[in-house]
């Protein structure tokens, strides 16, 4: 990159920094006063004219300063050579907060609350996808002599409880036989495979257990099948309303889009690798309702398995370095905690 191009990028970086901080169009004099650019105001004006001609900045009003465009933010993000890591104190606080969770759902809700607080944006976390989960254990609890509670526990810590009416009274020995049959068949199986195997169980069961197995199996299949409506935790939506000017005539559309699970899941689709942050800026978002937002997303899990995605949604006028650092740090800890549960 030539010296002139490098200097123009420094001007762009200064414009991004000032606009993100102040939400005011940035003029050449302000850049010279606030930043050590080591060039004259005339040179800065020429560089700003070149950046505007190339589409990296724009002038929202006549005689006003300049603001970054989506293209300008993209260049800024692509050239982030270094993301300042969170401090040791910040990392310890995150870990202590998340480790205090009592179960998977608590981990995810804490993660959303934490991300929303750290970034002051909308945070979203996807439940571990069931297609990647396996059955760790299945427990049967007798509520009455003719009614059972089924407790399904996966290797990702998800716990699902359902009740089943047996239509007849069974004793403790029968419950124990059912429990042993189900665990020997399902333990260690991926949920999709487990759903297939549990559907075949009634035919394989002894005659005296066949009716009870059929009733348990029909209810258990519901726990083994993916339920998209249960797959997301969202938090911090009110953060979008702090700066309504960031969403001219589009805030309502953004809020409506966030209520649609399928839209948010699509935003997280790019998060395929744990540790790899994806940033979609403005027009890069597939959904038209989200074209005034930026989405910073990441996959969480272990090196061997992607469990789900998480990220934040906010205006394009976003503190990208700080947001990327926060999303990456929280995902790292959530992955370690969930994978270890």
pTM: 0.77
Whole-number Å distance between alpha carbons of 335 and 273: 12
User: Could you tell me the pLDDT band of residue 324, with boundaries at 50, 70 and 90?
Assistant: very high
The CATH number of whichever domain residue 11 belongs to comes to 1.10.10.10
In sequence order, the 6+-apart residues with CB closer than 8 A to the CB of 329 are 85, 86, 90, 91, 94
- Tell whether the model's pLDDT for residue 232 goes beyond 90: no
Q: Do both 244 and 333 map to the same domain?
A: yes
pLDDT tens figures, 24-53: 899 888 888 888 877 888 888 899 999 999
Q: Do both 251 and 326 map to the same domain?
A: yes
The CATH number of whichever domain residue 268 belongs to comes to 3.30.450.40
Whole-number Å distance between alpha carbons of 176 and 87: 52
Does 83 fall in a domain?
Answer: no
Over range 166-193, report the average pLDDT. 89
- What pLDDT is attached to residue 293? 93
DSSP 115-169: HHHHHSSEEEEEPPPGGG-BEEEEEEEEEETTEEEEEEEETTS-EEEEEEE-SS-
Q: Do both 115 and 180 map to the same domain?
A: no
pLDDT tens figures, 257-281: 888 877 787 777 766 666 788 999 9
- Tell whether the model's pLDDT for residue 300 goes beyond 50: yes
pLDDT tens figures, 117-149: 999 999 999 887 766 678 889 999 999 988 999
Q: Do both 70 and 92 map to the same domain?
A: no
- Domain stops at, among 190, 225, 260: 225
Does 72 fall in a domain?
Answer: yes
Greater model confidence, 312 or 35: 312
The CATH number of whichever domain residue 163 belongs to comes to 3.30.390.60
Q: Do both 114 and 194 map to the same domain?
A: no
Helices (H), the chain: 3-22, 28-34, 41-53, 70-78, 88-99, 104-119, 172-186, 191-204, 210-224, 251-259, 261-267, 320-340
Q: Do both 57 and 13 map to the same domain?
A: yes
Could you give the 3-state DSSP secondary structure of residue 248? coil
User: Could you tell me the pLDDT band of residue 229, with boundaries at 50, 70 and 90?
Assistant: very low
Domain hosting residue 280, numbered range: 88-129+229-340
Does 173 fall in a domain?
Answer: yes
Number of residues assigned to the chain = 341
Does 41 fall in a domain?
Answer: yes
- What pLDDT is attached to residue 319? 93
Q: Do both 239 and 320 map to the same domain?
A: yes
| CA 152-155-157 angle, 5° bins | 70
Whole-number Å distance between alpha carbons of 339 and 34: 46
The residues that bridge with 139 in the sheet, in sequence order, are 151
- Mean pLDDT score of the chain: 86
Q: Do both 93 and 240 map to the same domain?
A: yes
Least confident of 57-61, 83-87, 180-184, 240-244: 83-87
The number of domains in the chain is 3
- Domain stops at, among 182, 210, 225: 225
| CA 319-325-327 angle, 5° bins | 95
């Amino acid at each position: 990159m030539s010296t002139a191009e490098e200097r123009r990028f420094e001007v762009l970086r200064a414009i991004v920094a000032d606009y993100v901080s102040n939400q005011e169009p940035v003029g050449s004099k302000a850049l010279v006063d606030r930043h050590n650019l080591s060039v004259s105001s005339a040179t800065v004006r020429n560089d700003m004219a070149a950046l505007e001609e190339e589409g990296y900045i724009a002038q929202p009003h006549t005689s006003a300063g300049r603001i970054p465009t989506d293209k300008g933010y993209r260049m800024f993000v692509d050239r982030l050579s270094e993301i300042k890591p969170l401090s040791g104190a910040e990392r310890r606080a995150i870990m202590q907060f998340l480790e205090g969770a009592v179960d998977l759902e608590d981990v995810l809700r804490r993660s959303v609350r934490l991300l929303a607080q750290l970034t002051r944006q909308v945070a979203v976390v996807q439940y571990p996808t069931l297609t990647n989960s396996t059955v760790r254990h299945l427990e049967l609890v007798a509520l009455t002599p003719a009614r059972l509670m089924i407790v399904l526990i996966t290797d990702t810590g998800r716990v699902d409880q359902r009740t089943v009416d047996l239509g007849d009274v069974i004793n403790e020995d029968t419950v124990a036989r059912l429990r042993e049959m189900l665990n020997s068949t399902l333990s260690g199986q991926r949920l999709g495979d487990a759903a297939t195997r549990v559907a075949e169980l009634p035919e394989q069961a002894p005659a005296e257990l066949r009716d009870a197995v059929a009733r348990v199996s029909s209810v258990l299949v519901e726990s083994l099948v993916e339920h998209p409506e249960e797959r997301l935790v969202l938090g911090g939506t009110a953060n979008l309303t702090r700066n309504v000017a960031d969403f001219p005539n589009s805030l309502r559309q953004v809020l409506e889009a966030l209520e649609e699970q399928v839209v948010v899941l699509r935003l997280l689709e790019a998060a395929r690798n744990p540790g790899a942050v994806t940033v979609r800026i403005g027009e890069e978002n597939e959904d038209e309702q989200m074209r005034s937002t930026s989405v910073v997303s990441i996959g969480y899990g272990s090196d061997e398995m992607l469990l789900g995605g998480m990220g934040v949604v906010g205006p394009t006028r976003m503190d990208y370095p700080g947001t990327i650092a926060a999303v990456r740090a929280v995902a790292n800890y959530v992955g370690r905690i969930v994978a270890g549960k």
